[in-house]
Amino acid sequence: MRNIIVGAGGALSLVVAATLVGCTAESKPNVTPTATASATSSDAGTPQASEILKQSLPGEADPVKGAGPMAGAVGNTIGPQTKAGSVSVLFVCTGGTAYTITLKRNGDKIPDSVEQRKCDNSMYRKSVPYRAGDTLGFGVDAQAPQLGTYAYGYVDSSE
């Protein structure tokens, strides 16, 4: 079973810290998120992004550790890594707003990683290779941040 790490925050001030610890052939990345969040939905009956993320990863222990209202700027960084490997960045949002997601390694944009997408309840998933000592992260900028919810996570994809 893979370790799945999800953190969340809310409003314009996102407070999330995660540390990726140890990655060997026998062990998988282990991220411990710390977050402040308030999970709300902008429309009654609209699925929360955290529920969509959970449903997208059937058979896994509850991968959702938190979720929050879509903010103007959302992001997270994990690391530094102790061994080389690969991790998939997961992001889901609801509410229909357009957003841009950028993946980062050691604080710099990863070439060709910038994507424009829509908060249409689908899961963004992209694998990012890393070397020992690297930090990994992502940033999201939303056009209409007051709409919908979001959730994100990391899944070891070194296998």
Q: Each residue of 102-149: pLDDT tens digit?
A: 999 999 999 999 999 999 999 999 999 999 999 999 999 998 877 889
Q: What count of Cα atoms within 13 Å lies in the side-chain half-sphere of residue 26?
A: 0
Position 19 confidence tier, pLDDT thresholds 50, 70, 90: very low
Third-level CATH fold of 4-156: Jelly Rolls (2.60.120)
Residues 29-77: tens digit of each pLDDT:
434 332 333 333 344 456 789 889 888 877 666 655 457 888 888 888 8
Q: Fill in the amino acid letter for 10.
A: G
**What is the reported pLDDT for 109?**
96
Q: What is the pLDDT of residue 86?
A: 94
The predicted pLDDT at position 26 comes to: 36
Q: Which residues of 63-97 are buried (b: 16+ CB within 10 A; e: fewer)?
A: bbbbbbbbbeebbbbbbbbebebbbbbbbbbbbeb
